Amino acid sequence: MDPSRADVEAALEAYRSTEPLYTVESEAVETLPDAFQSGEYGRRDAQWVVRWYGRRYLGDEPPGEDRSRREDAFEGADFEAVRDAIAAAIEADREAYGDAIDALTALPGVDLPVASAFLAFLHPDRFVVVGPHTWGTVRDLTALEGPYPDPPSIDEYDDYLAACDELADRYGIDPWEVYMLVWRRRTERAEP
């Protein structure tokens, strides 16, 4: 069942008032794009994105996730390589972001879903983070087809982004609010 505009507003308000990471996410959406673009960020800022991707589940990790292995691998990454990958991602736009995904996924501990988190914090007005639960919810609300591809290819991520655009247009919300909506609605789903 498609949510009404009132349902969407209620989900967004519930996200803001009950999600434990909302305050730090909101701050990151405000500050990380400028910090990354200006180059005035440190290793811990980049590590935060990787940690956020896994820790937002707060104990309800998707099947097959090994959060600590991913975080440890990224922590050992050469910081200049991280800076180069983020610089490539800064240039990403919705028509051509394959090079950014390639640069980010070349880093240890980063697959396409984590790369999508980097893109979402670099460009919260253009990209939406993908994962098993968000894919399933977007699929339920749009014409997106198939089970979650683990991990998605760039083409599959592009299909996901097109479906997220459909939601943004339908409800008059921005990409970060699309993420908030699908994250709240994921709990209504039994499986990804």
Would you place residue 129 in the very low, low, confident or very high pLDDT band (cuts 50, 70, 90)? Answer: very high
Looking at residue 191, its pLDDT comes to 44
- Where are the domains positioned within the chain? 5-188
Q: The pTM is what?
A: 0.93
Mean pLDDT of the 147-171 span: 97
- Statement: residue 59 has pLDDT above 60: no
- Statement: residue 64 has pLDDT above 70: no
Looking at residue 163, its pLDDT comes to 98
For 6-19, the pLDDT digits (tens) are: 999 999 999 999 99
Q: Which two tokens stand for residue 104?
A: 């980010």
For 31-44, the pLDDT digits (tens) are: 999 999 999 999 99
Looking at residue 189, its pLDDT comes to 58
Looking at residue 186, its pLDDT comes to 86
Looking at residue 93, its pLDDT comes to 85
% residues pLDDT > 90 (the chain): 82
Calculate the average pLDDT of the chain.
Answer: 92
Would you place residue 188 in the very low, low, confident or very high pLDDT band (cuts 50, 70, 90)? Answer: low
Higher model confidence: residue 150 or residue 112? 112
